[in-house]
Amino acid sequence: MELSATAKVILGMLAMRPRSGYEIKAFADHSTRFFWTASYGQIYPELRRLSDAGLIEGKQTPQGGRKRTMYRLTGEGRRELRRWLDVEPEVFELRDEALLKLFFAGAKPDAARKAIDARRAHHEEMLRRLAEVEPLAEAAPDRFPYMVLRCGVDYSESIIRWCDEALAELDREDAA
C-alpha cells in the first residue's frame, strides 16, 4: 500500500499509543503541525483507508453520549510504519509565502520590508509556541520529539537573525 503523508502521521502517532481521530488531530496540533500538518478532512478519510487496508483497527468506545472510535496499529500497520522509516526521506519542501513575496519584491520594493517583518513575526510566534510544548517533548518516552523541537527552535532563531540582517540591509539602502 502506498502511504499518504497523512497515513504516515497517523501510523506514527498510533505507534505511540491508541488514539481517536480527535486525539490524533489534537496531538498533531501540538507536535507535528510545526513541520507537517494534518486536517480533520485528511485524518478521517485516511483512518477509514488504513482500516480497510488492515493497517489499523478501530473499536467503538462511546464517551459522554458521543460516538468515539479508538484506533490502534495492527501488526501489519507496525510493519508498514517500519518499512517507511527505513526509506530515506524524499520530501524536504519549504513553502514560505514571505520568501516568495521577497523574491518578487522588485515589482514593488516597499513590499520587501512587509514580507520580512511578517516572516520575523511568524518565527517569533513559532518560538513562543515551541516553548509552550517543550515540556511535552522533554517528557516524551524517547528523545526524538525533543530533538525535533530543538531543530524547530534553532531554525526559527536562525530565521529571525536572517530577518534582522535583511532589515538592516534595507535600512542601509534607504539611508544611502
Task: Judge if 20 and 72 occupy the same domain.
Answer: yes
Using the 3D structure, point to which of 86, 117, 139 is the last residue of a domain: 86
Which 8-state DSSP code applies to residue 19? E
* Domain CATH for 47: 1.10.10.10
Torsion sign, CA atoms 99, 100, 105, 106: positive
Task: Judge if 64 and 135 occupy the same domain.
Answer: no
Using the 3D structure, point to which of 31, 63, 86 is the last residue of a domain: 86
Dihedral (Cα; 21, 126, 85, 2), 10-degree rounding: 50
Dihedral (Cα; 63, 47, 90, 98), 10-degree rounding: -60
Using the 3D structure, point to which of 57, 86, 115 is the last residue of a domain: 86
Task: Judge if 109 and 169 occupy the same domain.
Answer: yes
Task: Judge if 108 and 66 occupy the same domain.
Answer: no
User: 165: domain range?
Assistant: 97-175
Task: Judge if 118 and 160 occupy the same domain.
Answer: yes
Domain count, the chain: 2
Q: In tens digits, what is the pLDDT along the chain, a chain of 176 residues?
A: 889 989 999 999 999 999 999 999 999 988 888 888 889 999 999 999 999 999 999 999 888 888 899 999 999 999 999 999 999 998 788 788 888 899 899 888 889 999 999 999 999 999 999 999 999 999 999 999 999 999 999 999 999 999 999 999 999 988 88
Task: Judge if 34 and 81 occupy the same domain.
Answer: yes
